[in-house]
C-alpha cells in the first residue's frame, strides 16, 4: 500500500471514529437541563463532553494530515450528512418504540440502552486501538478508554436499575432494547474503511470483538432481568454514508451557529 493510500485509509478511519463520538455527544447533550434528576443531568452532560472531546482529538489528527484550510471545526460543522461515517444507532432520537406513550421526545431508557450498547463496543475498540500502528491514535485510545469505561459503568448501572425496578421502568427498558438492538447489526457489517484500517495495523477488526461484546451485553441483561431482543432485519449503513433522516436534523441544529457565522472566532 503506497503512502497516499495509507493516508486516505487513516483519514477515513479517524473520521469514522470521530463522527461516532460527535454525533452521540450531540444527542446526549440534548438532555442538558432536562435530566430526570440533577445528578443525571450533570452526568449526561459530562459524558457528552467526553465524547465531544474524543471527537476533537480525532478531528485534529485528520486536519493535520489533510492540511490546507481543514480544521476540526470545518470537519464537524461544514460537512453534510452524506460525508459523516457514524453508526446509524447514534443519530436516532431519544425515543422510537416508546413514542406512543412517552410524555416527551426524551425517554431516558432509550438513551441509557443506546449508551450501553455503544460503550460496550467502544471499551473493546479503544482497548484494541492502544496497539494501533498509528502512535497518535494509540494515545487517543488510551485516554478515551478511561472515559468509556465510565460511560459503560454508568449506562450498565442504570440499565440494571431500570430493568430490575418497577413494572413501568422494566417495560420501558425492554421496549428501548427491542427498538435499538437491530441497529447493532451495523457494528459487524462489512466496511471497506474498517477492513483496510485493520489490514494496515491502524484499526481493529470489529467483527473479531463480537463474542466479547455479546458476553458484556448478556451479563448485564441477565442482571437487569431483561430479554435479549432479536437483532435481525435491515442492516443500517451509516458508517458507509447511508443515514436515516434523523442525522440531517441533528446536524442542522449542531452546525447552524457555525454556518451562520463562518470564520468567526469563539
Looking at residue 262, its pLDDT comes to 87
CA-closest candidate to residue 149, choices 120, 128, 107: 120
Measured from the Cβ of residue 43, the count of other Cβ atoms closer than 10 Å reads 18
What pTM was estimated for this model as a whole? 0.93
Q: Are 55 and 18 in contact (CB under 8 A)?
A: yes
Q: Is the pLDDT of residue 99 over 60?
A: no
Measured from the Cβ of residue 108, the count of other Cβ atoms closer than 10 Å reads 22
- The CATH number of 3-260 is 1.20.1260.10
- What is the DSSP secondary structure assignment for residue 200, as one 8-state letter? T
Looking at residue 102, its pLDDT comes to 53
What integer is the mean pLDDT of 33-54? 93
User: Residue 49: how many CA atoms within 13 Å on its side-chain side?
Assistant: 7
Q: What is the mean pLDDT of the chain?
A: 92
Top pLDDT among 168 and 2 is at 168
Range of lowest pLDDT (60-64, 105-109, 156-160): 105-109
Those residues whose C-beta lies under 8 Å from the C-beta of residue 79, and which sit 6 or more positions away, are: none
Q: Are 169 and 224 in contact (CB under 8 A)?
A: no
What integer is the mean pLDDT of 146-170? 97
Question: What is the tens place of the pLDDT at every residue in 79-91?
Answer: 999 999 999 999 9
Give CA angle at 21 (17, 26), nearest 5°: 150
Looking at residue 51, its pLDDT comes to 98
**Burial class of residue 123 in the structure, from the number of CB atoms within 10 Å of its CB (0-12 exposed, 13-18 middle, 19+ buried):** buried
Confidence of residue 1 (pLDDT cuts 50, 70, 90): very low
Q: Is the pLDDT of residue 100 over 90?
A: no
- Residues forming beta bridges with residue 237, ordered by sequence position: 242
The residues spanned by each domain of the chain are: 3-260
What integer is the mean pLDDT of 205-224? 97
Q: Is the pLDDT of residue 7 over 90?
A: no
Confidence of residue 96 (pLDDT cuts 50, 70, 90): low
Which CA distances in Å does 237 have to 51, 67, 227, 257? Answer: 21, 29, 26, 28
Measured from the Cβ of residue 210, the count of other Cβ atoms closer than 10 Å reads 15
Looking at residue 24, its pLDDT comes to 98
Confidence of residue 6 (pLDDT cuts 50, 70, 90): low
Confidence of residue 265 (pLDDT cuts 50, 70, 90): confident
The Cα–Cα gap between 186 and 239 comes to: 8
Dmax (CA) of the chain:
58
Amino acid at each position: 500500500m503506497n503512502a497516499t493510500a495509507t493516508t486516505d485509509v487513516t483519514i477515513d478511519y479517524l473520521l469514522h471514529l470521530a463522527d461516532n463520538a460527535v454525533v452521540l455527544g450531540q444527542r446526549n447533550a440534548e438532555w442538558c437541563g432536562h435530566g430526570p434528576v440533577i445528578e443525571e443531568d450533570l452526568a449526561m452532560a459530562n459524558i457528552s463532553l467526553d465524547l465531544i472531546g474524543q471527537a476533537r482529538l480525532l478531528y485534529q489528527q485528520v486536519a493535520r494530515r489533510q492540511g490546507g484550510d481543514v480544521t476540526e471545526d470545518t470537519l464537524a460543522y461544514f460537512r453534510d450528512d452524506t460525508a459523516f461515517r457514524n453508526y446509524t444507532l447514534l443519530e436516532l432520537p431519544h425515543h422510537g418504540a416508546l413514542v406512543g406513550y412517552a410524555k416527551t421526545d426524551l425517554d431516558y431508557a432509550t438513551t441509557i440502552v443506546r449508551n450501553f450498547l455503544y460503550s460496550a463496543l467502544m471499551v473493546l475498540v479503544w482497548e484494541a486501538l492502544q496497539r494501533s500502528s498509528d502512535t497518535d491514535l494509540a494515545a487517543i485510545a488510551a485516554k478515551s478508554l478511561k472515559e468509556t469505561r465510565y460511560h459503560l459503568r454508568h449506562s450498565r448501572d442504570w440499565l440494571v436499575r431500570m430493568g430490575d425496578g418497577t413494572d413501568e421502568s422494566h417495560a420501558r427498558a425492554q421496549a428501548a432494547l427491542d427498538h435499538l438492538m437491530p441497529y447493532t447489526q451495523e457494528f459487524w457489517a462489512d466496511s471497506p474503511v474498517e477492513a483496510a484500517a485493520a489490514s494496515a495495523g491502524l484499526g481493529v477488526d470489529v467483527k473479531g470483538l463480537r463474542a466479547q461484546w455479546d458476553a458484556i451485553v448478556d451479563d448485564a441483561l441477565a442482571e437487569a432481568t431483561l430479554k435479549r431482543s432479536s437483532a435481525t432485519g435491515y442492516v443500517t449503513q451509516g458508517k458507509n454514508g447511508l443515514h436515516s433522516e434523523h442525522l440531517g436534523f441533528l446536524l442542522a441544529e449542531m452546525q447552524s451557529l457555525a454556518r451562520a457565522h463562518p470564520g468567526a472566532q469563539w
